Structure 1
């Protein structure tokens, strides 16, 4: 009998027992795919833990809900699949009177429901309809809602950068209809990295590939505090690349396009949607907030690939952007344009300040790395978004890091034997000083087969957690989330 040997713990599976569907490549077991190994192996279940075990004490000021979104593929993955292609899972940690309740639910997208009905994998590679089963033709194949759980104007939304968001019930986490802003939004996509103006309550956004083609169409979008689309302007990037995150200051908008490009022929042949082109520069398009998109000035930076942006602010003619920057591709699951694996060492991100001099006729940009700040998933105190600020936070290799932009010192909460996820900052009170509050970060503990939500005092990173909210199972990577105070919930 023919068998297939896979990496990781030995598991020989008869090929006759592996699922096959017409037009779909043969699936692999979950743990054969690097993106789905160890703590990232999908759970494939929804759960409720009504009263979580709490080690320590929940601060009395912490009242509200942490919402998170990430991928959790419900059926076996394809060979060389990547974690970004997983089904959306929204989870919540609800803090109430010192107790914490956990809940997680799949985002019941058209794609999810169609595969569940078929009891098998129907959709192929990330953003490549040419690898799908025939019966999926014409369905919404990419909208998995797996990137960000975001709350605005009374709505909880599961965001994915190539699609409209799905509405999620903030109490039950059950999936509600997709949200196109009551027909107000004309573009077909909006970013999964929204920026909220803490002064006006506006939601600043953009869409890429927003007309449904592989052209470099982009759109600037602004939604007011009540959820009404008040601005949507279309333009084109100099090339069609990856635009995963962007920056907004009190005076400017910064569009960031990375040199991971699309190619119709490659996609039609079953290849990856993106491929890294090391010969192309990254693009940084800057415009004033009160100007129109035809005034965008595009700066070009070589050997400068950004995954995520911590914050941005304007100081006179200088626009500062603090981002995770690597020399090469920060997305190792996409090959280069020649079909070769990218060098992961070139993709190690370091938090770096890019300072753009708008007074210079040349592309004058200063790069200032933050010493030792290797990590990802950067955040700041949301009350200081779009303005000059002091404190930033990242997921590091060893735990959770706090950056002091005033002293350029990195403080780290080290987690031996554990791996942290995105840290979310929650102010102690609405009027607390910047950085006075709590950091919430999910930590997997492989040796114990469980996960714990750490609650840290952001000003005492070296101290033990104030509380550890323990789950009796691990938690695959949730990309991004947000904390909603009790008073802001409907």
Structure 2
């Protein structure tokens, strides 16, 4: 008997249904004029299950839905395609659901219990490097896609890489072009095994170091500066015994502090120092830099479990207040020990997540940051000036913004001189727009709005790729 589709739990305590369609829109409707400097493609990926799931599913288990807004001479066209992963192809061949809960193989149909790419959905970050486009997922090696057609090509050979996981939040060094990455649970299972790995500007593996984290916790993003690498481990803990019982992959433990490992960038993992910060959870890094003995990390943090669909060790979901994220500057003074080394400075009024910067200033001192502003019922895009502490807002009415992405006006234009692209969910019209804002001041009216005649599933992270 065919299964029905169940709502799945998403961020912000929302329940959603999958949309389940691929689309092509040639010549999108545009309000305003596209800046002539915008020539290229904006790639995004998110989660959208094509076949029914088990009840109590979460958004992170969705199949990868890869999309592209292509900009050509003032015109914009849209395309979206499922990432043709091994798991999706298996379900399409069977014409039914084969996979169960998020990262829990013990809830799958027995016919696919040994599929090595079980968790690789390509649903987290549309990433571009050395002329290639990838669909990343933090527990797997990425799929490579055709940048024009979005056809799924393969999982590339990463040389002698030992880690089974490449983070969904890689960092590109704007000076060298290196691709910095890491993987927790690097041997495949929920253990403390982890890997730091680096690829050169041509995508060749040039470094890998294995190490252990303090506990098998969640690590969705990390930070790289000119002098240091920072590994945050959050107290959402994975456990094999719990998985065998059919339970969730992560469980929040409020009695554990978050752990922050810091090592010299040109040193070794053997020089790692671990710092405790109790009572916070973070998912994303805005940017980080080193200033003498101090390592500065800017990140949205919450006072409790911001991953609202994971229970704690007592079986409880978090309250709304525990999930609110606030942009916070965390400073680690490496000349000091223990608690004295860490200071935290929450930025007042900076509520939200999905932080981005002008990537030309990654890994070093910077001035401007952008993020999806979320202080319900007020929603929009916000811009921080770290030199002055000023925040400006672009408010949205009956709508919410997804991740903002910055595109410089020219390769050598000043920091923030360019455009902010953000997808906007229009709740009343049940549509999606792509809005283009002034990167110098996002509070100004949109420069242009690309209008789609339908709604899109949530995408997590994306990249702008300029035309060759």
Which TM-score bucket, shorter chain as reference? over 0.9
**Structure 1 Cα separation of the partners of residues 69 and 316 of structure 2:** 41
Aligned-pair CA distance for 1:305: 0.9
User: Which runs of 5 or more residues in structure 1 are unaligned?
Assistant: 1-16, 20-27
Which of the residues 8, 16, 23 maps onto 1:33? 8
Q: Does 1:348 align with 2:348?
A: no
Listed as ranges, the matches of 1:360-439 within 5 Å are: 360-363=336-339, 364-397=341-374, 398-439=379-420
Tell me, yes or no, if the aligned pair for 1:40 and 1:475 is still in contact at 8 Å. Answer: no
Aligned-pair CA distance for 1:29: 3.0
Tell me, yes or no, if the aligned pair for 1:39 and 1:446 is still in contact at 8 Å. Answer: no
Alignment match, 1:275? 251
Aligned-pair CA distance for 1:77: 2.8
**Structure 1 Cα separation of the partners of residues 283 and 338 of structure 2:** 25
Q: Does 1:462 align with 2:443?
A: yes
Tell me, yes or no, if the aligned pair for 2:231 and 2:262 is still in contact at 8 Å. Answer: yes
Which of the residues 95, 99, 109 maps onto 1:133? 109
State the Cα RMSD in Å. Answer: 1.4
Aligned-pair CA distance for 1:462: 2.2
Greater fraction strand: 2
* CA displacement 1:35-80 (0-9 Å, x = unmatched): 3998953221111111111111000111111000100110223211
Aligned-pair CA distance for 1:213: 2.2
Aligned-pair CA distance for 1:362: 2.6
User: What secondary structure is seen at the aligned counterpart in 2 of 1:108?
Assistant: coil
* CA displacement 1:255-287 (0-9 Å, x = unmatched): 010000012221101000100000000010001
Which of the residues 126, 134, 144 maps onto 2:121? 144
Aligned-pair CA distance for 1:240: 0.8
Tell me, yes or no, if the aligned pair for 1:203 and 1:223 is still in contact at 8 Å. Answer: yes
Tell me, yes or no, if the aligned pair for 2:8 and 2:15 is still in contact at 8 Å. Answer: no
Indicate the larger mover: 333-342 or 420-429. 333-342
Shift of the 485–49 alpha-carbon distance from structure 1 to 2, 3 Å rule, reads: same
User: What secondary structure is seen at the aligned counterpart in 2 of 1:286?
Assistant: strand
Q: Does 1:191 align with 2:167?
A: yes
Alignment match, 2:70? 94
Tell me, yes or no, if the aligned pair for 1:39 and 1:444 is still in contact at 8 Å. Answer: no
Indicate the larger mover: 458-467 or 252-261. 458-467
Aligned-pair CA distance for 1:476: 1.4
Tell me, yes or no, if the aligned pair for 1:100 and 1:469 is still in contact at 8 Å. Answer: yes
Alignment match, 2:157? 180
How many pairs align? 461
* CA displacement 1:419-444 (0-9 Å, x = unmatched): 11000000011111001110000011
**Structure 2 Cα separation of the partners of residues 264 and 104 of structure 1:** 36
Tell me, yes or no, if the aligned pair for 1:164 and 1:180 is still in contact at 8 Å. Answer: no
Tell me, yes or no, if the aligned pair for 1:41 and 1:476 is still in contact at 8 Å. Answer: no
**Structure 2 Cα separation of the partners of residues 117 and 440 of structure 1:** 37
Aligned-pair CA distance for 1:330: 1.1
**Structure 1 Cα separation of the partners of residues 372 and 189 of structure 2:** 34
**Structure 2 Cα separation of the partners of residues 185 and 34 of structure 1:** 34
Alignment match, 1:68? 44
Tell me, yes or no, if the aligned pair for 1:35 and 1:81 is still in contact at 8 Å. Answer: no
Q: TM-score, normalised by structure 1?
A: 0.92
User: Which runs of 5 or more residues in structure 2 are unaligned?
Assistant: none
Tell me, yes or no, if the aligned pair for 2:5 and 2:17 is still in contact at 8 Å. Answer: no
Which of the residues 221, 231, 238 maps onto 2:207? 231
Aligned-pair CA distance for 1:187: 1.2
* CA displacement 1:173-230 (0-9 Å, x = unmatched): 000111232x331211110000000000001110111112221001000000011000
User: What secondary structure is seen at the aligned counterpart in 2 of 1:464?
Assistant: coil
Alignment match, 1:484? 465
Which of the residues 182, 185, 208 maps onto 1:206? 182
Q: After TM superposition, where is structure 1 displaced by more than 4 Å over at least 4 residues in a row? A: 36-40
**Structure 1 Cα separation of the partners of residues 104 and 118 of structure 2:** 9
* CA displacement 1:370-396 (0-9 Å, x = unmatched): 111000100010000000001000001
**Structure 2 Cα separation of the partners of residues 391 and 110 of structure 1:** 40
User: What secondary structure is seen at the aligned counterpart in 2 of 1:425?
Assistant: strand
Alignment match, 2:421? 440
**Structure 2 Cα separation of the partners of residues 216 and 38 of structure 1:** 32
**Structure 2 Cα separation of the partners of residues 362 and 241 of structure 1:** 21
